[in-house]
Amino acid sequence: MTLSSGTVAPGAPTRTATGSVTVRALRLLESFTAERPELSLSELARRSGTPLSTVHRLVGDLMEWGALERDPSTGRIRVGLRLWEVASLAPRALSLREAAIPVLEDVAAVTHENVQLGVREGDEVVFVERIRGRRSVRLLTRVGGRFALPPTGIGLALLAHAPADVQERVCAGPLRRFTPYTVTDPVRLRAMLAEVRRSGVAVSDRQVTDDAVSVAAPVFDRSRAIRAAVSVVVEADTGRPAQLTPLVRAAALSIGRALG
């Protein structure tokens, strides 16, 4: 809170041209990705757009708290366990995972395929759980990772039951193409969402990778509010989406009942 020109109220967060210290620290944390889980100080500075001297100070603070740690063999910086401990307490993911894991394990045991659970966060899907099947098709998604809503089975199931303004914003694009099969036509995407609402199941056929098909269903709680979506991902050449549909629907229903 500014009292007058150049005067800041006591206790107010320190701010710079690019935001508060808190925002800068968060930008450092979001610099890490699945592809780049370890970074040097200079890489952190470049990826976050933060001066190297500030990065050095912030990394020291974050390491002291446990949000970051240094790899003893390489000296590079990586995310610390303390941050994971705190993040695992997020209510949306915690209660959902507790309700869903027994169901996901049963589905994985029956199908021996990849089973996933995700929630909508803005215009993206965040994957909160995944059980990888033996000899199953490769996935680009990971637990805690984000992905565009339209091309994934879980994303289609979530988007079909999202508020109308969200649907229109996503359909208006731009819609990214991942494979030759990715739907990038807004008219066709809207028709697909209508079919998901009608049938209660979403099928993403080779839209993310050209060797995988995802069959997903929305998870509703007892108040009929959508909470998540569950999917089974199989090989495009050998999978049988139609045979998986009853199982995925039943899984979504079971998770919804467990949520209460």
Whole-number Å distance between alpha carbons of 129 and 126: 9
Residue 83 is predicted with a pLDDT of 83
Q: Give the residues of the chain that fall short of pLDDT 50.
A: 1-18
Q: What is the layout of strands, in order, in the sheet containing 124-131?
A: 146-148, 124-131, 114-121, 226-235, 212-220, 202-205
Query: pTM of whole model > 0.95?
Result: no
User: At the topology level of CATH, where does 91-259 sit?
Assistant: Beta-Lactamase (3.30.450)
Beta strands (DSSP E) in the chain are 2-4, 7-8, 15-16, 19-20, 38-39, 68-70, 77-79, 114-121, 124-131, 146-148, 202-205, 212-220, 226-235
Tell me if 2-86 shares its fold with 91-259.
no
pLDDT 10s digits, 63-116: 999 999 998 889 999 988 888 778 777 766 667 888 899 999 999 999 989 999
Residue 9 is predicted with a pLDDT of 36
Per DSSP, 176 falls in state P
pLDDT 10s digits, 167-189: 999 999 899 999 999 999 999 99
Closest CA to 174 of 127, 182, 47: 182
CB 115 within 8 A of CB 230: yes
* Cβ-based neighbour number of residue 56 at 10 Å: 13
Whole-number Å distance between alpha carbons of 249 and 232: 11
Q: Show me where the domains of the chain are located.
A: 2-86, 91-259
| CATH of segment(s) 2-86 | 1.10.10.10
* Cβ-based neighbour number of residue 257 at 10 Å: 14
Residue 153 is predicted with a pLDDT of 96
Q: Is 260 exposed, middle or buried (0-12, 13-18, 19+ CB in 10 A)?
A: exposed
Residue 164 is predicted with a pLDDT of 95
The position carrying tokens 């401990």 is 85
| H helix runs in 49-205, sequence order | 52-65, 81-87, 91-111, 153-160, 164-171, 186-199
Residue 20 is predicted with a pLDDT of 79
